Structure 1
């Protein structure tokens, strides 16, 4: 089931967080105390929608000027013909029902009725645990994880064995890609089967590159603020998600992947919130102030930035005083030993429609810290994306440069370029770098970083990637193009994927995946046969490798080189032609 929350409309998609267990409105539980947050009580069910795409329904909602907190529906085209909308208030719900009932859309009259709320995950878990046989061993899903199990499950495995385990996972991902593409494309099947017979995989495998630094490697950590098992205020990591029915936060002091200075920052901030008159945030009732704590640490300069994530809705009149006290704590009182370089506020409230990130407010020190990759300096702001393992990032970028066969005639299209780290590291090896990123502040950082490093062969643009891909290809005017795609965990959106497939002149790209399983659908779609939406010739996976960016965890970063089928065909034709000429010459 596909769903969207008000925090993410109109671009992103969110999974439904609970099953269809219904709740009685007369029940007394914490879910009822936060109706402004959990809108299950103000849900409507739309029927008789016919076949529709999620984007079409979203456009209709926008046209009717409705502001649901969530949209829950089936996947694109086909399947069921109904959807659910949730609203913050009864008035909004009733107004929406009046608008939809009898509304003509796509040749049908929509029906609208009151939807039934589903059970809050915390209540659901509590009831499930109460129903267990107390004399029998608890099922695995009810066993509480330790903080090590929840965050660094491989911490007690020798590093060499971690790499072996991760390489096996990469093999599985490549084999899963091959299986799916062989089913989807009769044209590519013989090519993939031939590669599998020769190499055992659908492509050339360059192996896994180990991390130069395996302990204390994280230059950025986002910590939750909440209560531990003893009901004490704690800054650390959650042992589970809210959707799993878990709110407990555990200490991070014994975790190997977090730097000692970051641990000190956490320890100091925890001591601060323990003596504060303000409360920690409680997701269940959506109340409290201290919600998150982010630490960014520069490996090259030693600068440290802290970001206090605060739910500000209830304390707007007192917020300035709270921020002043936090600054005073880290500059004049106990927190002074941290020698903090920069302090930010992150306002973590309900997002407005179209809002893609939280609001950040600089409150003390420098606005940026600076770190170095491959000899280049990069400024990092509170919301900037920067690879969390600096030394492994250098290995990753050098590998991508080598796999992409980049030379002085190559033009790089940096898709989802962020602050320009990848593109600028490639700049001295290529003719030109053209980057695009949706967050304007990140583009400002990219332009600054280019200027700061004296790089003149780069241009960066703020906007949706899918809107810019064709124009970037046109601007490049270069047959030797290589796109670099380093998307979020779930991969690139459908429009960007289609734009890449349909971009004439773009025949090669490198895909960097920090969550290969989640990105798998992207890889498969790049290799699908031509269709109404995917008009360009398919891409074929040619080479793959991996870099261990996240030691002690299950995560792995994969680097994949795709080439368009026509390019492969021409290469084969050329190769076959040379063989024919050689044979003819030999016979004479």
Structure 2
């Protein structure tokens, strides 16, 4: 499942050369909070590097640091493996005391058979602060500004056929990279004739105005005006400017109206917009969900405010129901509290303030209840194409059990339900499971069961529960791909020999596909999986994103001996 990321402990790949920059000065030159004074900032001032690590996943190192070493870093940055340091990472803490304690505990500690080396690391100067100081020192700071169209819809200047041609070439390149990597990690399987047979690239039925959800940033443009739109650059580049969305082809007119009315409301409000540099201000993000089929719209106003004031709620309701924003006809209005995530917190708090709690979306003739935090493909018409392609590749029968892994609100499983004997879905988020069960009941579907739990632990349980003569799984992970534990669970589960992998970021998912094909080992006890059939679906016209659907099949014990090509 794709997920929109908020403020949470992150893992990122960083250019190691950047860490050689000089430390930030003790305080900025203007009257704003320093990094030390900002208790909610994931400070880089108190930073260490840990070297000589074994290959690891984010969950593994997080568990090792917190549970075994009793450390609580605010940020973990994984670095690319190097010959000198092997796998290494940077850890950031909130105080010098925590930093020194971490070095003492980690230096010389043994993890996964490797002796860790821990040492202090230099902080990277805050990009905005660095840019401001360069200007104050008279340096010529060159800023390359993109328009909102260039930043969010970089292919919009091309014809749609030209866009499709570019994307198909890129997908085929990823597929070729997959074949090459398979040959390296498992040479025998790399010689199979029928790895990743390309089945074509499906067009989007709707090219313009297709988004059913948009998350607009609230900020300021280059002239200092308050704007509801999209970021034109990244904070790491020293850019926080927000651009107007009025000329974007992929945003429907109703959403543009919502952004414009929210902008009017914010400009008239006594509260300021949120500053990502100083963590001040209130208005931070506007999320809009809109179904062109049911004509229902949900408005979610994201604020940086620990206690939501009653007068703010009343102002929002009055504006969007009685005064300037009434023409939007929002069916549902929420306030979203966007603060630093607390330990164990999986999502932000949504406060329902007006109208219905849900809106309805329709896919394959089925109605789906959409709540503020629901995952749903952003292009409804292309989602119908995507799911039908998955159904066609799966080639299910009336005796097939479909396992919907990370099922979310049950969209994929419910679409599969009439093509199989039963659907068994599992999802970690209990609220999503409640929605999935509701959606099944609302559509009169009786052959689907949904369970709340850890997907990795549940896969074998679902296989045992299946009553069909054959089992097929469907996985639709977030943009980063499956966690290592999930790949291991798929490899090792007995009774599952086929599954569909839906990827919204094939480049990121490539490592999963290669791991699925690695030889038998202590970690991978089950036979490898190989991509058999591959399709592309254009879910995001005018952008560089594309969706990939892959049918994986498990290699039988004697298959490589019979099906490989000659050298």
TM-score in terms of structure 2 length: 0.89
RMSD: 3.1
String of CA shifts for 1:256-302, please: whole Å, max 9, x gaps: 11111111110000000001110100001111100000000012211
- Following the alignment from structure 2 to structure 1, what is the Cα–Cα distance between the partners of residues 159 and 107? 64
Question: Which residue number in structure 2 is paired with residue 13 of structure 1?
Answer: 11
Greater mean alpha carbon deviation, residues 322-331 or residues 102-111? 102-111
**Contact preservation (8 Å) 2:11, 2:75:** no
Q: Which residue of 2 aligns with 1:489?
A: 479
**Contact between 1:154 and 1:554, CA under 8 Å: does it hold in 2?**
yes
SS at match of 1:454: coil
Given that 2:13 and 2:79 are in contact with CA atoms closer than 8 Å, whether structure 1 keeps it comes out as no
Residues 104-123 of structure 1 aligned to structure 2 (within 5 Å): 115-123=121-129
Once the 2 structures are TM-superposed, how far is the Cα of residue 28 of structure 1 from its aligned partner?
2.1
Residue 16 to residue 405, structure 1, CA distance change in 2 (3 Å):
same
What is the 5 A alignment of 1:155-554?
155-191=156-192, 194-195=193-194, 202-313=195-306, 316=307, 319-554=309-544
Gaps (5+ residues) in structure 2? none
Indicate the SS of the match to 2:209.
coil
- Bigger relative CO (Cα 8 Å, ≥ 6 apart): 2
* CA displacement at 1:518 relative to structure 2: 1.1
Report matched runs for 1:18-167 at 5 Å.
19-20=18-19, 21-28=21-28, 32-33=34-35, 35-40=38-43, 42-45=45-48, 53=56, 55-56=60-61, 58-63=63-68, 65-72=70-77, 74=79, 79-80=85-86, 84-90=90-96, 92-93=98-99, 96=101, 100=105, 115-125=121-131, 142-167=143-168
Contact 2:228 2:262 in 1 (8 A): yes
Using the TM superposition, name which of 384-393 and 122-131 deviates more.
122-131
Take 2:390 and 2:333, find their aligned partners in 1: how far apart are those partners?
A: 34
Residues 6 and 70 of structure 1 are in contact (CA less than 8 Å); yes or no, is this contact kept in structure 2?
Answer: no
Instruction: Please report how far the alpha carbon of residue 531 of structure 1 lies from its aligned counterpart in structure 2 after TM superposition.
Output: 1.8
| Inter-partner Cα distance in structure 1 for 2:358 and 2:521 | 46
390-399 vs 110-119, greater mean Cα deviation? 110-119
| CA spacing shift, 1:266–1:8, aligned 2, 3 Å | closer
Query: Cα offset for 1:105?
Result: 5.5
The separation in 1 between residues aligned to 2:79 and 2:332, in whole angstroms, is: 45
Q: 1:75 to 1:464 in 2, by over 3 A?
A: farther
Partner SS state of residue 531, structure 1? coil
Aligned length: 550
Larger Rg: 1
Q: Does the 8 A contact of 2:107 with 2:119 survive in 1? A: no
CA–CA separation in structure 2 for the residues paired with 1:17 and 1:348: 29
Alpha-carbon distance between aligned partners in 1 of 2:250 and 2:310, rounded to the nearest angstrom: 34
Aligned counterparts of 1:260 and 1:567: Cα–Cα separation in 2: 56
Moved more, 14-23 or 523-532: 14-23
Please give the alpha-carbon distance, in whole angstroms, between the structure 2 residues aligned to 1:265 and 1:50.
Answer: 49
CA deviation map 1:191-218 (0-9, x unaligned)? 1xx34xxxxxx43222111111111100
Distance (Å, rounded) in 2 between the aligned partners of 1:554 and 1:108: 40
Query: In structure 1, how many angstroms separate the alpha carbons of the residues matched to 2:103 and 2:515?
Result: 40
Contact 2:211 2:378 in 1 (8 A): yes
8 Å CA contact 2:363–2:380 kept in 1: the answer is yes
* Change in CA separation of 1:249 and 1:421 when aligned onto 2, cut-off 3 Å: same
Closer/same/farther in 2, CA of residues 428 and 102 from structure 1, 3 Å limit? closer
Distance in structure 1 (CA, Å) of the matches to 2:115 and 2:377: 50
Q: Could you tell me how far apart the structure 2 residues matched to 1:326 and 1:380 are?
A: 21
